Structure 1
Amino acid sequence: MTTPLALLSVAPAFADAKPATQEQSSKPTVKQLEKAAEIARKAYEDAVKAVRDARDALDVLATDASPLRVAQKAAEKEATKAATAKTAADTAVTDAKTALAALPADATVEQKAAAEKAVTDAEAVAKTAAETKTAADAKSATAQDALDNARVAAAQQISLAQQAEKDALGVKKAADKALADALEEEGDEGDGKCVLEPEFTTVVTGLPSTVVAGKWVDFKLRLTNGTDKTMDEVYPFVTVHASDKNGIKDLSHLLKLQWSSATSKAWQNVDVENYVDRIAPLKAGAHSDIKLRLKADAKAPDGQGVAFVAGDYWNDDTSCGGTPDLTTYEFKIAAAGTKPGTVPPAKPGKATKPPVAAPSPQGTSSPQPVSGALAKTGSNSAVPQIALAGAAAVVVGAGAVFVVRRRKSDSAA
């Protein structure tokens, strides 16, 4: 497996931990590949942020709040003022000379002296005005150059950041594939047909980080087939669980979750197996959106909740698989009547890796997990109290691909 070794070479935090005597031909363990994949994921996220920051920096230069823009505007205003003063001074010189030339032949010595002095004084003012204008013009040009150079540098930084993002994505994909291959080789795909698919993703958007009891909140689940092959049937998985704010009392029964899709627009409750509308097919590179809505019962107390999302697929050639991870989205539950103000969206937590075991024969009453992302759940350090939620998810989510397989069998009967 040359790819994992190449990946490890770009992950210093991991590579430095290798013994000096380790040969490059040795095969990395799953644990090492998981660490490398995590490093690659973090590097990619940092690269994405760097692109966003670089674009923001360029946008700032176009605003009046930019210090360089402020300096350029001030210098430009100063140059305009100096140009106006020079024009007035030049006009004064012309007028003084005209007045001197217009003196009558019988003008007194005093009159001639005064007219000559007016010309001299006007020329002195004009000279100073010309010098001031030259300096102001130079200052304005310097300020403009500084702004232009900053814009060019910002644009170049965007280009560099975008290339770094592209490179980081390539490393991330290689890391994900190396990990998936290693898991497959160890038998984590169950019966050899179902596989973990890193390019198959499920992402939630619009779920608020605080849900007020008694009110529906709308959000969306997007499933994306990032592979180069069509998935004939895709089964989105979504479930929500909750506990009180101390993590002791299970409040999951007070949550109501419904879905709607392009093929079934009426709101429907998520079924007992926590699957929503089947997508058939999901073409390579395509995505499909499922509308979701969630409500905590009006009598629900303050608490905390978590949504789990994943997806599985089944192909006509009997190959199958699922998302490698089950992603969590944590949210707070506020008692009815609470006015939380502006609420940011819930952010995805650290995905969990599923355990793998052989499936039970079709028709048995106790399915075992095989692959997909639904067999193992939990919460990150931000909400360690949701133990009940994690336990409930293990029960309802075990054996995602097995369920898909059973559904496929049932539909064919």
Structure 2
Amino acid sequence: MTTDYRFQFDGTNSNTLSHRLTIKPFYTKGPFSISLQSYVQTEDFTALTSNATPFPVSTLGRIGYMFSYFDQLRIGYSTSGFYLALDHNRSIVSDMTSFTAPQFGESSKLVLQSQIKTGPFTLITAFDDLYFTNLLANRAQFGSSILQYTSNGYPLSIAVGALAKVENNPSWTVNLYPLLSFRFPVINTRTTQFSAIMQAHGYLPVYPAIDTDQFIDTSLATFFPNYSLGVGFAVKRNQFTAKILASVNDGKNHTMLVNDFAYTAMDTSYSSAFEILTDIRYTGAKFETKAVWNVPFTGSFAIAKLSTGHNADYSQLSLGFKIDKLTFGLGLANLGLLETLQDVFSGSLALTDLFGGTYATSYLYAGYDFGMFSLSARAAYPASPAAYTIPVVSLSARIKLSKAF
């Protein structure tokens, strides 16, 4: 069992002070593991809240309430034929898609993910949050299912599937982004893989009505009113991976559809003629880093813009270090990074807008593990349509008993 205490100063919410005590009993045996949670919290010592009350009225709220008691669940192993996990981290990701940006920092979502392997086939399914935080706030959530086939001998990979965008604002809608993806290995050794990749996806509203004209319209010369067609290459060398993808787009389709800003009330849609995605990562025992930059261009080779007129390119940079029992990390994600930098240097924006402005989110953390006791500190600017000057600062202490029950 673990016990967590968190003190939080929320500079994004009128400098609110809160104290939270969380108890997490857990059980692990072989391929099965479960961790439950329950907490009590007080804000400015004026009110006491918990995840036990109040009991929600709506059906969706009740389902989210039930899952609020889950911290983690695992059935099977990631190498097993069947693997199911509920976790705050997305650990199963298909490299055959470019729908979703890498996870940025800590996540308060409870991600459902499963993987089924049989012969040359692998089915990966995910839903981003079983707490339904965004749906209950009338914002979008996302799910996906990808079926991947990898042939014997020459390991050609083919994937079909779709990303689903679910919204309840003001009524329920479900829109799919169907996908077809290919990976052609050029170099395939134990330590090095170099592959050519090709991806194509469209757009298909399926609820409350199926609108096939949004997917294929024979009255158009291109037949597809909404599409993205990309080609590029991917490299993996030990702990280093890199991907570069150039795509031509039209309509509602583009790469990196799902990122931190897509979960806010901000309109992140834009129109682009083509895009260039660069995704570089290194994951080692003591150091890890991710650098992602997706730049959309118009037909006149200008950077595409959001409805607000701000540049729509998405960037993400994160670093993490581990030195013995000390951990340290930082991260920065932006929409329109270069435009924001220009505005900061010209004096039209404050420096804090680079880290916590309308088009920015960032974090900084440090922690030390004493064994059964650990301490951590974190400062973060959350993704939000609002601009912040003071971050959310939290100090946490954890005690983990050595014996599970």
Task: Give the TM-score category using the shorter length.
Answer: under 0.3
Q: Comparing both structures, which one devotes a greater share of its residues to helix?
A: 1
Q: Comparing both structures, which one devotes a greater share of its residues to strand?
A: 2
The structure with more radius of gyration: 1
TM-score by length of 1: 0.24
TM-score by length of 2: 0.25
Greater RCO structure (CA 8 Å; 6+ sep): 1
